[in-house]
A and B are shown apart, each in its own frame.
Chain A
């Protein structure tokens, strides 16, 4: 079955720096990859999507890359702010209907 791994350890960065989160997968060839944000005690919230034929996607301070050769997606938050502190989840699908989620990475932005 597919395996989706994200940074196992929490990530702490200084305000204003760029945060980079990793999503690696094996035994899978997803056509779509999504990123979600989850705050404590809340459900995940959809952030953005990247398709297998797209190398990079940007939305405001967010940038996502998708390397199907390395089987990896990188999620960047530039000019990070304390309000960006949350857990970030990647989700993969080869059909666009059913998505499988990674374990998430906890990000803390230190003022």
Chain B
């Protein structure tokens, strides 16, 4: 099993550019989410989805869009990149009824730098 796959691993953007971070899982997990991780701030939830066609905002959604057209994929779109969006982005997934006992499965992350 590949688990949760994130692409790209590294990305440099110029301010104002847009891009999409890709996330795919092959475990048939209903729940998927995007976090950003910054020094001293911990993991902060950006957006999440409890199933195909259903998305909702997390703690820090501004500047990001998501959609969930299939169970497997949950892309994160940066609309107009800003230096404040420089961070490491993690995608995570789980079986909704098993999150408590088995936790989230995380991807290996995308390191994004906005200059």
Binding site for B on A (CB under 8 A): 1, 4, 32, 34, 36, 41-47, 49, 89, 91, 93, 96-104
Contact = CB atoms under 8 A, between A and B. Distances in A.
In this complex, which of B40, B43, B50, B105 has the most chain A Cβ atoms within 10 angstroms of its Cβ?
Answer: B43
Contacts of A4: 42
B109 A49 contact: no
- Bin the interface of chain B by size: 20 to 34
In this complex, which of B45, B92, B99, B105 has the most chain A Cβ atoms within 10 angstroms of its Cβ?
Answer: B99
16 contacts: A1-B59, A34-B100, A43-B106, A44-B104, A45-B106, A46-B104, A47-B103, A49-B103, A96-B100, A97-B99, A98-B45, A99-B104, A100-B45, A103-B40, A103-B41, A103-B42
Given A96-B99, A97-B99, A98-B48, A44 B106 contact: yes
B101 A49 contact: yes
Given A36-B103, A97-B31, A98-B48, A43 B90 contact: yes
Nearest to A44: B106
Given A41-B109, A97-B31, A98-B48, A46 B42 contact: no
A89 to B, nearest CB: 7
A97 B77 CA distance: 24
In this complex, which of B100, B105, B108 has the most chain A Cβ atoms within 10 angstroms of its Cβ?
Answer: B100
B15 interface: no
In this complex, which of A1, A4, A101 has the most chain B Cβ atoms within 10 angstroms of its Cβ?
Answer: A101
A4 B101 CA distance: 21
